Amino acid sequence: MKIKDVTLKTGLSANAIRYYEKEHLITIARNQSGYREFSTANLERLRLITQLRAAGCGIDFLRHYCALLDDDENHDKEQKQLLADEAIVARQRLQSLADAVDFLDWKVSVYYDRVKHLGDASKNKDK
């Protein structure tokens, strides 16, 4: 599978895929002409990276986690702990974002009430 096909299947840009390869998050085989040949395992890895990035995981976390995945030794406990720790951090980010949205909603209501009040005052002024 060529990089164009992978971009269509994953939604990632070719630049993002090349960046992940450069950062050693994914190893992609090359054909005799030097072109990347993506495997099903590559697609699965890119989907994993995409989900972890969406959860807010940084590049250092991804390097560490992918290195554990690529190591021949069993790192299940360490992988599980890394993911559990990151899930805690993601929940904290999510709560912070929810708090920020609540604040924005409150500010909108303050401005709405102020504008409504001004509109009501001008109506009363005309009478």
Residues 43 and 88 in one domain: no
pLDDT reading at 90 higher than 90:
yes
pLDDT score for 50:
97
pLDDT digits (tens, 9 = 90+) for 22-52: 999 999 999 999 999 999 999 999 999 999 9
Residues 52 and 9 in one domain: yes
Other Cβ atoms closer than 10 A to 70: 13
Task: Please report the pLDDT score of residue 122 as a whole number.
Answer: 61
Band (pLDDT 50/70/90 cuts) for residue 115 is confident
Of 30, 36, 27, whose CA–CA distance to 5 is shortest?
Answer: 36
Domain count, the chain: 2
- For residue 81, the model assigns a pLDDT of 96
pLDDT of 124 above 90:
no
Count helices and strands (H / E) in the chain: 5, 2
Tell me, yes or no, whether 81 and 48 share the same domain: no
pTM: 0.78
- Same-domain pairing of 1 and 53: yes
Residues 3 and 36 in one domain: yes
